[in-house]
Amino acid sequence: MKNLSLKKVLMMIALLATLVHAASTFAYPNATVLMDAAGTNANATDLGQVNCDASSTRLYAMIQDQSAPVSGLLLSLHIFSGIHMTTATDSVSGDINPSPIIWIDNGPGPYYISATKTAAGLRLFTVTFQCADSNNTLTGTSVIGIQGQ
């Protein structure tokens, strides 16, 4: 009986872990992009515009480099809006951890998010982004792709 209860508890924990992982993976708007497919363009830059609903205060974003590590080749994400800009870098490529989360406060925006890298080389990455209000309640978020290189 005790073993059965333990099994139930373990199954519940596993289920919750799955749900939490799924939520963290899929709940927020995101885009997965292949950058510098030919592997020859160190200046390659991808650019998108994020629009937030009128009640929004800020935009959060992070980047995850899914490609295998290459020495000297790191991916960064920039958010800029108005006269402010910030940057986050995924310091370890190919692992399960994204960059730190960055944000800019500029109301409904628009916000521009761009991905850059430090050397030539193909990179597959995912950018996750989310608008929020002053209480960090999620608000409507939409994106328009502008430039893909």
Q: Which residues bind other proteins (CB under 8 A)?
A: 42-45, 47, 49, 72, 74, 76, 78, 80, 83-89, 91, 100, 102, 112, 114, 116-119, 146-147
Question: Whose Cβ is closer to other proteins: residue 57's or residue 99's?
Answer: 99
State the residue for tokens 């920039």.
78
Contact 110, 49 (CB under 8 A): yes
- The CA-CA-CA angle for residues 118, 65, 109, to 5°, reads 85
Question: Whose Cβ is closer to other proteins: residue 72's or residue 135's?
Answer: 72
CB of 124 to other proteins, least distance (A): 18
57 Cβ contact list (under 8 Å, min separation 6):
105, 107, 132, 133, 134
CB of 58 to other proteins, least distance (A): 14
DSSP letter at 149 equals -
CB of 14 to other proteins, least distance (A): 35
What backbone phi and psi angles, to 5 degrees, belong to 82?
65, -125
Question: Whose Cβ is closer to other proteins: residue 18's or residue 91's?
Answer: 91
Question: Whose Cβ is closer to other proteins: residue 87's or residue 126's?
Answer: 87
Q: Quick check: bond before 110 cis, omega within 30?
A: yes
CB of 53 to other proteins, least distance (A): 22
